[in-house]
Structure 1
């Protein structure tokens, strides 16, 4: 091995060695590094969240905050579904964000990742906006001061037979020390078929016995009140029940999980309930006077909101006998 090769190889090993797994004494309880990404040596986890299945938008181009605000579109980002791991670290105060991002680049490359997009400061934005607004892309809007002295961003992708992995690293510069925000999406299909189909007969039995029935077959796009086409079989059964029981009037109640703001979820659940009532009136001729839309938001959970399984149970439409 010649001297040049030795120096290059040694430098790569040093960079990779500065990114390693292993918990620090001050990590938040229950947290851990993503096995493919690791952490910069000496960093401590200050926030951690892992979801078995959700979606996330990753920035793939400079953002035009003047035009788009904090709305990230198909022009500047991609939406990925799968297992989402979200980790924030406080990095050592005596290390620069440039050194840290280079370590992540070297480490990810050694594990088969390819860079999709990277930027620093002004190259992260299209307009004259301050780069600190990239904190909103990281979900760090409430602590955007951590990006006040500069920002660096890296998105890398590893393609594997079992599914792709996207790893994003945001680095905020501040006098309090670098903030490292790692967001990883392990792409995989949703575990489907987990919600039982409720037909008109089962609706009648549940409403007769308890005064209400919970339905999971009515699906909506993420953060929207648009009814998805796969909801039609359940809507058909609601219409059958209502036509067979012409004396019954219902409160159509929308429920959300515990993620997001309270008022936002109340409004979202009400709009979803209104969409269901409107669909029943428009497509099946059900009198609007028999249907009262109501948004309960996150106020009536039937399971814990601390995990995906519980949140899935809480996202529902209930028919309540008036």
Structure 2
């Protein structure tokens, strides 16, 4: 091991059935900085055991102490296989047996990623077109790994369930390790929907003036396509306008930030737009033919993607009129 390499060890409290407790030190294959370290003394974890199919990710429910960690790997250009291979080997060397392994497309792409427990950005980044998943078991314990990357860095998440509850810190850095990035406090409740921004001009007038209008008060669960439960002033106003103008049609257009690949972001943005469409149809009674849903991913930003404030502005759903003439 060279002096320039940062060594980070995940001290997972792993046990053999009816055997003394053992420790598994997962050594990162490249320089790494821990971004998350979370533990639950007793919980349930739906371990993915197959590729997405028939509307769901096949899973096995595992109960026990849970440890969830993530790292950012400082290795520009490293492939996801280069990230996974040495970690997978360490798990196998510790006596675990493979359960399931896949790469992005064969996992199920978007649907597998969003049907799997994964820490949110910026703790863990998953490129929907370039990630790998691996799960293994040893007695009553399971370990799952998911790795992905950007052009500048790699990302690793490890989930361990079962065995003895943790009694020592999960991350044990060597004297060469850089300071850990502090993880934000966990959010225990979903954020309350924001009020729609006040405007002197009615929504309908803004739509008829042309262009797209952002529905600023919408709230989506982190990394998910489902619209958070609640009432939204912008959708109430849009529904009222559509009822008053039954001959008019609109398109809901989803947008994302530039994190991840284009194909996956287009899929996510379209699903978010469709969630809004379903709300209008189901909650407001708007005819399905009056509203369509589309997604353009990160292709139409309204702010810089170089900081979180800009990325947040870019994650939105807009509405635009698709009628080519005003109906009588």
Q: TM-score, normalised by structure 1?
A: 0.50
Is the radius of gyration larger for structure 1 or structure 2? Answer: 1
Q: Which has the higher helix share?
A: 1
Q: TM-score, normalised by structure 2?
A: 0.49
